[in-house]
Amino acid sequence: MVSSEVKNFGIIGYPVGHSLSPQVYKAAFEAEGLLNYNYIPLQVHSAKLYFAVEGLKALDFRGFNVTIPHKTNILKYLDAIDSDAMVIGAVNTVVNDGGMLTGYNTDVAGFLASLAEANFLPCDCHAVVLGAGGAARAILWSLCKKRAEHITIGARNPQKAQALANDFLSYGNVEGLDWNSEEFNELMQEADILINTTPLGMFPNMDDMPPVDLKLLPEGALVYDIVYNPAETKLIKTAKELGYPTLNGMSMLLLQGKESYRLYTGQLPNMAVMTNTLLKFLNVTA
């Protein structure tokens, strides 16, 4: 349905020039005839976050996405926070309803929807999560919500891994380990799914991958890399060569974007348009 109403959306971060959200959302808006919907990248320094949020409210932005380094700090400037975002401690989507700002974390919906598309049921699974940074938190909460039987966090820094695990102990059976330890290697042999949440292998450092032995995984274990650029990381390529089913980060990226779009507009986007636009700008052929 064609709309003549002007509405503004955006993404705030520092830096923000690398984001493909403006291209993807603009294409989705145009596909639905929302020709006066604008999506603007906004570079905001950490010291200016409060003023940026107040400015976006004053300018009546309908909503905005939030990326590094503001996902956590923005919570204190919002009027309400969705339950998922509260547990995770990070917001990636803000909706403005008449001056009331509500924060959401759509990574949960995106991650779980991507697993559903891959016909993987996280209930009662043993999951191994690589990395103990901010990206791991939404993954951990998603797995806990779906009652994964056991979650092992493997990281270079075992203290950081266990500290992250402690944050989720009240929600599930979670532990943190050194990914070079014998105990971690033993648990790799029981995993139903391995999820990389580190940036290892991301463009332009495409020769990197987490230092884990994929051959330890049981036959049929799903190897999931949330990195989407490149579409086939070294981790994914190695897993394919070993015969494991794989999933890259593009599905999660697109499906969390689908949820943000729904929160912004009350409608579902044309996913084919969003997918093709992302592929175009990543120089990937479908």
How sure is the predictor about 134, in pLDDT bands with cuts at 50, 70 and 90?
confident
Q: In terms of residue numbers, what domain contains 53?
A: 7-106+251-281
Residue 1 lies in a domain: no
Residue 95 lies in a domain: yes
Please report the pLDDT score of residue 286 as a whole number: 44
Residue 114 lies in a domain: no
- 233 and 188 belong to one structural domain: yes
CA distance 95 to 265: 10
- 53 and 123 belong to one structural domain: no
- 169 and 256 belong to one structural domain: no
Active-site option among 71, 146, 234, 258? 71
Question: Looking at the 3D structure of the chain, how many domains does it have?
Answer: 2
pLDDT in tens, 111-122: 999 999 999 999
- 76 and 155 belong to one structural domain: no
pLDDT in tens, 206-246: 999 999 999 999 999 999 999 998 989 999 999 999 999 99
- 184 and 92 belong to one structural domain: no
- 71 catalytic residue (yes or no): yes
Q: Closest Cα to residue 71, out of 12, 117, 112, 140?
A: 12
- 182 and 76 belong to one structural domain: no
Please report the pLDDT score of residue 2 as a whole number: 54
DSSP β-bridge partners for residue 48: none
- 240 and 255 belong to one structural domain: no
The dihedral of CA 122, 126, 130, 133: what is its sign?
positive
pTM of the prediction?
A: 0.92
- 90 and 123 belong to one structural domain: no
How sure is the predictor about 203, in pLDDT bands with cuts at 50, 70 and 90?
confident
Q: Do 196 and 111 form a contact (C-beta atoms < 8 A)? A: no
Q: Closest Cα to residue 39, out of 274, 284, 280, 202?
A: 274
Q: Is the pLDDT of residue 15 over 70?
A: yes
Residue 61 lies in a domain: yes
